[in-house]
Amino acid sequence: MSTLKFGLAALALSLGASAAFAETLEVGAPASDQDLARYFAIQPDGEGLPPGSGTVSAGAKVYGERCAACHGDKLQGVPAAGGAPLVGGRGTLSSAKPVKTVESYWPYASTLYDFVWRAMPFDQPGSLSPDEVYAVTAYVLAKGGVIPEDATLDASSLPKVEMPNAKGFYDGRGPDLPLYNAGR
């Protein structure tokens, strides 16, 4: 191979290579709205909440049939079933025995909707309709004294719920600075 030819070949090769890096690989297919319709994730401001609504009294029925066996008639938890207490514990977070529940600890109502819709009931995940999830969310929050017994939750009222421990969290990212003074 002459030097010129070799040089041209190398140039072509390197152009080819850099082109490949600048372009996409054209792997994967576009995801349509229909593809995405089966997924959800709900933000504290309510983004992602589905249409529908539920009352505390409708939630009492859902809770009794679908949750009470594992979380208890009084939402007190059933240790043998692995179901945590969902209410109680206010004022305990700085004590020697903090009780972390939806009522005492959770900063956002959206998290309750999101979690119950995706993962509860534990033995039949993903089986509740949006209305049932609004209702049982309302029931749990009412039993925790967070919303009134006559409340109705929907996509506009749920994000407005002020959780008792809403101000109890801060961003813990970054280095654990005091550790560098730990010896003192």
Partner 1 sequence: MRRRGSDEAYEPLAASRPVDEECPCQEGMRPQAGLGRRQLLLSAASTLGATALAAGAARAAESAPPGSVHYDVPEDPTKEQGRPLLADGGYGTRSQFETEVRSKANNPTDLTSWTFTPLAAQIGNLTPSGLHFERHHGGIPTIDPARHELVVHGMVGTAKKFSVADLKRMPSVTRKHFIECSGNTLTEWAKPTAKNVQVTHGLLSTSEWTGVLFSTLAREVGLKEAALWVLAEGADAAVMTRSVPLEKLLSDGMIAYGQNGEALRPEQGYPLRLLLPGYEGNTHIKWLRRLQVSDRPFMTREETSKYTDLMPDGRAKLFTLQMGAKSVITFPSADMMLPKPGLYEIKGIAWSGRGRVQSVEVSTDAGKTWRPANIENVAEPMCTVRFNCPWAWDGQAATLQSRCVDETGYVQPTREELVRLRGLNSVYHYNAIQSWAVAADGGVSNVHA
Site of interaction with partner 1 (CB under 8 A): 24-25, 27-31, 35-36, 39, 41-44, 79-82, 93-94, 96, 98, 100, 102, 105-108, 110-111, 114-115, 118-119, 122, 125-126, 168-173, 175-176, 178-179, 182-183
Among 49, 66, 88, 164, binds ligand HEC (CB under 6 A): 66
What string of DSSP letters covers 91-107?
T-TTSSS----TTTT-S
Residue position matching structure tokens 């043998």: 80
**What does each C-alpha distance from 96 to 65, 91, 93, 99 come to in angstroms?**
35, 11, 8, 10
- Of 40, 61, 76, 84, the residue at the interface with ligand HEC (CB under 6 A) is 84
Residue from the set 44, 48, 50, 70 that interacts with ligand HEC by CB under 6 A = 70
Nearer residue to ligand HEC within complex by CB, 82 or 148: 82
CA 79 to chain centre: 23
Buried b (16+ CB within 10 A) or exposed e, 67-96: bbebbbeebebeeeeebbbbbbbeeeeeee
Residues interacting with ligand HEC, by CB under 6 A? 66-67, 69-71, 81-84, 86, 101-102, 112, 115-116, 120-123, 136, 140
